[in-house]
Amino acid sequence: MLLGVNIDHIAVLREARKINDPDPLDAIGLAIRAGADQITIHLREDRRHINEYDVERIIKHSTIPVNVECAVDPDIIEIIGDLKPHRVTFVPEKREEVTTEGGLNFDEPNFANLDKSVHYLKAREIETSFFIDPTKEAIRASKTIGVKWVELHTGSYANIFAMLYGNLRHTPHAIKELDIERSKLQKMLVKSVQDLQDAAEEADDYGLQVAAGHGLNYINVDAVSNIELIKELNIGQSIIARSVFTGFENAVKEMVTLLK
């Protein structure tokens, strides 16, 4: 299993003070030493963490592939197209969201915009990926447009897991819709893993490479990493959170060990 380490949250800490420390660029060498296979960053329209200066320097200095996530925004796509990362992952983006809430929507005009953007990047020899919910419709649309990868959104699995096995339901951040009987949550958890498994099979049948990510951590990652057809996980928040206590290199190493 390949690990893409999402380092956006290092920039979140920097932006808390609007200064130049910590610098996400400093994470690259440590991530590589710890066994990471890829660096993932998200250039958001509101630049709330990573900015184009980071993207440019990270692409220039990283000796492992850089996967840049972005919305279908012509200005951002032009910036990234010129910087030529290894891969671009298209994600839906809403200004008011705390993090990417769901997979891409393929209804028109989104389908046409995604199609145009993918072809723009392919012409620049940049790999493309779609962040999608684990559904047949999303996989078929991804195949039709012709991306190389799909990244399955594991947020729903992670939320159910956190409400079932963690203390989230006893905190101010409890997820209201999931504040239900444990027996129901247990069934939902099984179904969420089955959905990921089915989607991975469907994508593989179509010849798509399969990644997954969102909300994965040291406790919940097993069920997803055991799905053989998923080749890569992109993990960010939990690794950076652990880094606060154990250091970034140790935190990445621990995740690499779990994935083995």
Q: Check residue 214 for interaction with ligand PXP (CB under 6 A).
A: yes
Which residue, 62 or 242, has its beta carbon nearer to ligand PXP?
242
Give the position of tokens 């190493």: 253
The interface with ligand PXP within residues 25-44 (CB under 6 A) comprises: 42
Select the span of 114-122, 134-142, 160-168, 230-238 touching ligand PXP (CB under 6 A): 230-238
CA atoms of 75 and 51, how far apart (whole Å): 13
- Yes or no: say if 224 and 4 are a contact pair by the CB < 8 Å rule: no
Burial 15-54 (b: 16+ CB within 10 A, else e): eeeeeeebebbebbebbbebbbbbbbbbbbeeeebbeeeb
User: Active site includes 69?
Assistant: yes
Q: Does 255 bind ligand PXP (CB under 6 A)?
A: no
CA distance 129 to 113: 14
99 interacts with ligand PXP by CB under 6 A: yes
Report if residue 105 touches ligand PXP, rule: CB under 6 A. Answer: no
Bridge partners, residue 107, by sequence:
none
**69 vs 202, beta carbon nearer ligand PXP:** 69
Q: Is 35 left (phi over 0), alpha (psi -120 to 50) or beta?
A: left
Q: Does 214 participate in catalysis according to the annotation? A: yes
Which of 30, 55, 68, 69 binds ligand PXP (CB under 6 A)? It is 69
Binding positions for ligand PXP, rule: CB under 6 A: 6, 8, 42, 69, 89, 91, 99-100, 131, 151, 213-216, 234-238
